[in-house]
């Protein structure tokens, strides 16, 4: 499932700068539901503090912002594809209220082991690269709160940032960088003179995610 700038914002404003920011959704942009639960309706969507500001800052800096999210609740019959679309329309509204937009959104609705797009596999990121030929993985970054996000980025050839407390993630992640939240990650990446040094590839069979 893919939603593009028609729903979210003008992709032509996302050119320039050192590439693309791939963002996980739950736990990175919005409050993550408890394990085994999903954001099934627009009313359940709550943005994390600083998330809209972080996306707005990326927009202003000319970076492309692409959401990539596992939504296995569709395969489990807990929500429909239209439910997911409604949640993302609400997400677009909330970001727009903060002066921000996404350029595209890619969703895996499948059960584990039934596709090549479910993170930690890199299918969602590779689909974006096919749709936006100017995306260069070597000049892109994947940001998420789960190790599955990190592994997907590694498999796609991007730099990676794990969202969470650095002390708690020390030695527990293959990410190139750990940041407390999305705003902190964006601030570090936009102000640093060097992008995160990519570590070697990790095993995409590992990982977690909804």
pLDDT of residue 165: 81
Specify the higher pLDDT residue, 5 or 178.
178
H helix runs in 9-165, sequence order? 51-60, 81-97, 123-131, 147-156
Query: Distance from CA of residue 186 to its chain's centroid?
Result: 12
Structure confidence at residue 209 as a pLDDT band (50, 70, 90): low
83 catalytic? Reply is no
Q: Which CATH number is 2-191 given? A: 3.40.50.1000
pLDDT of the residue at 119: 98
**Res. 102: pLDDT tops 80:** yes
- Residue 18 has what pLDDT? 45
**Cα 94 versus chain centre, distance:** 16
Mean of per-residue pLDDT scores for the chain: 87
Q: For 154-202, how does the pLDDT look when each residue is reduced to its tens digit (9 = 90+)?
A: 999 999 999 998 766 667 899 999 999 999 999 999 987 555 655 555 5
Residues 6+ apart with CB under 8 A from 34: none
Lowest mean pLDDT among 34-38, 64-68, 81-85, 203-207: 203-207
Q: For residue 16, what pLDDT is reported?
A: 35
Nearest CA to 35 out of 27, 46, 45 is that of 27
Q: Which residues contact 32 (CB under 8 A, 6 or more apart)?
A: 26, 145
What percent of the chain has a predicted confidence (pLDDT) above 90? 77
Asked if residue 206 has pLDDT above 90, the reply is no
Q: Over range 67-79, report the average pLDDT.
A: 97
How far is the C-alpha of 130 from the C-alpha of 101, rounded, in Å? 21
The ranges assigned to domains in the chain are 2-191
Percent of the chain beyond pLDDT 70? 81
Q: Look at residue 192 in the predicted model and tell me its pLDDT.
A: 75
What pTM value is reported for the model? 0.86
* Residue 131 designated active-site: no
pLDDT score at 56: 98
pLDDT in tens, 11-63: 333 333 348 999 999 999 999 999 999 999 999 999 999 999 999 999 999 99
pLDDT at 200: 54
């Amino acid at each position: 499932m893919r939603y593009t700038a028609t729903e979210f914002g003008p992709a032509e404003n996302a050119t320039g700068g050192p590439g693309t920011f791939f963002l996980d959704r739950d736990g990175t942009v919005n409050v993550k539901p408890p394990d085994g639960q999903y954001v099934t309706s627009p009313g359940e969507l709550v943005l994390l503090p600083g998330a809209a500001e972080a996306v707005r800052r990326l927009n202003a800096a000319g970076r492309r912002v692409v959401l990539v999210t596992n939504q296995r609740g569709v395969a489990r019959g807990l929500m429909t594809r239209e439910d997911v679309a409604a949640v993302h329309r609400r997400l677009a509204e909330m970001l727009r209220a903060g002066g921000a937009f996404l350029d595209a959104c890619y969703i895996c609705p499948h059960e584990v082991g039934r596709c090549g797009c479910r993170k930690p596999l890199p299918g969602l990121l590779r689909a974006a690269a096919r749709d936006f030929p100017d995306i260069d993985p070597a000049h892109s970054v994947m940001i998420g709160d789960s190790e599955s996000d990190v592994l997907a980025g590694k498999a796609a050839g991007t730099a990676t940032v794990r969202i969470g407390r650095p002390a708690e993630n020390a030695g527990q992640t293959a990410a190139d960088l750990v940041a407390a939240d999305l705003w902190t990650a964006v601030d570090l990446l936009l102000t640093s003179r060097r992008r995160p040094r990519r570590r070697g590839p990790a095993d995409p069979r590992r990982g977690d995610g909804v």
